[in-house]
Amino acid sequence: MPATIPVTHFKPTTRLPSTRPMSLTLYLADWFRRLSPFTGTTLPHVATYTRELPVSMARMYENAIDGDHLPWLHRETFTDMTISESDNTGWRGQGYLQPRSFTTWMELELRLDRENHRWITTTTRGLGKGSQVITHAIPLAENRIKVVVDFYVPKLPKALHKMYGKQLVDTYTRLYDQDLEMMRTRQRALDIAASAQPDSNPARIVLGNRTGLDSQLPLQFELAGRPYRLVRIGDKLVAHASTCPHRLGPLQDAKVVDGQVECPWHGYRFNVISGECTSGQHGQLPLAPVISIDNDEVVASSEENV
């Protein structure tokens, strides 16, 4: 008789951050706050969020200055956010917090102050108008920083500080989870690209038996140290680079729709056969290995692409 393994119910001791970015109560409270005739000369501080991140300052600044990722990487929080102005000192964008409605429209402006290792995000119009989020990034080691994020909301009665503060900290926890994943993935991709040795020899790899391979698609593989993915388009097996040419975003889990993949970081779309960018930006998927059948085996080869 096999031994009976006692089942212990999982009792979480931690709380999952809320999945809804803002509650209805908060929307209503914000309307009242903005309508309030009271004006103060100071911005009340409502909360602080701190976190150590295993990333470099370069990655963190790059992330802060990149407003275009908001509606893609943070799609549960922002939607239809358009960056109308940007340069390497900041950006301004207009869009909605989720769920999209006339109450959730906002305009955000971010100013990066590299000299003081900080950036200031101000809500200049709409929901949250007048709020400021001041983030200081403190370098701890080459690839380790600490962020200290302070939230300020004007015209806010003291009784509402806790509710606003909690909502903001929950939201920023989720945003930083997603940003951290993005920054680490990008750093890994940059490291791989930097360490790759130029190799002019043709590379070849057998991916599997033709009859058994379909059940494994989409299939990740590497050739000459670079990541690719094998997919089926109609009756053809096609390989495509699984790193986005824009900022090295991950394409390995992107769905193929109408022969195109969409990058989850900024929404660039690419035709997987031609590599062409079909969403209007510049860029092209790197050349992918040629797929052929050799003795009933599916082979990926860089031979014809060298």
Q: Which residues bind Fe ion (CB under 5 A)?
A: 179
Question: Residue 17: which H helix or E strand, with range?
Answer: none
- Considering the complex, what minimum distance in angstroms separates the CB of residue 165 from ligand FES? 32
Alpha-carbon distance 203 to 201, whole Å?
A: 6
Give every CB contact of residue 13 below 8 A, 6+ residues apart in sequence. Answer: none
Closest approach of Cβ 70 to ligand FES, in Å?
Answer: 12
- 184 scored as a contact of ligand FES (CB under 6 A): no
**Nearest-angstrom CA–CA distance, 289 and 305:** 7
Structure tokens at 56: 């470099």
Interface residue with ligand FES among 74, 174, 240, 266 (CB under 6 A) is 266
Residue 179, contacted partner among Fe ion, ligand FES, none, CB below 5-8 A by kind: Fe ion
Contact 174, 77 (CB under 8 A): yes
The Cα–Cα gap between 196 and 70 comes to 31
- Look at residue 263 and give the partner it binds from Fe ion, ligand FES, none, a contact being a CB closer than 5 to 8 Å depending on partner kind: ligand FES
Cα gap 48→147, rounded to integer Å: 10
User: And the tokens for 270?
Assistant: 């690419």
Strand partners, 220: 229
The residue (of 164 and 265) whose beta carbon lies closer to ligand FES is: 265
Cα separation, 149 vs 51, whole angstroms: 9
Per CB under 6 A, 265 contacts ligand FES:
yes
Is residue 229 near ligand FES by the rule CB under 6 A?
Answer: no
Q: Which stretch binds ligand FES (CB under 6 A): 53-61, 119-127, 167-175, 243-251?
A: 243-251
In the complex, the smallest distance separating the C-beta of residue 246 from ligand FES, rounded to whole angstroms, is 3
Is residue 247 a contact residue for ligand FES (CB under 6 A)?
yes
Which residue in 122, 151, 268, 272 binds ligand FES (CB under 6 A)?
Answer: 268
Q: Mapping DSSP to helix (H, G, I), strand (E, B) and coil, where does residue 180 land?
A: helix
Residue 249 binds ligand FES (CB under 6 A): yes
The nearest distance, CB 244 to ligand FES, in angstroms, is 3
- Binding interface with ligand FES (CB under 6 A): 244, 246-247, 249, 263, 265-266, 268
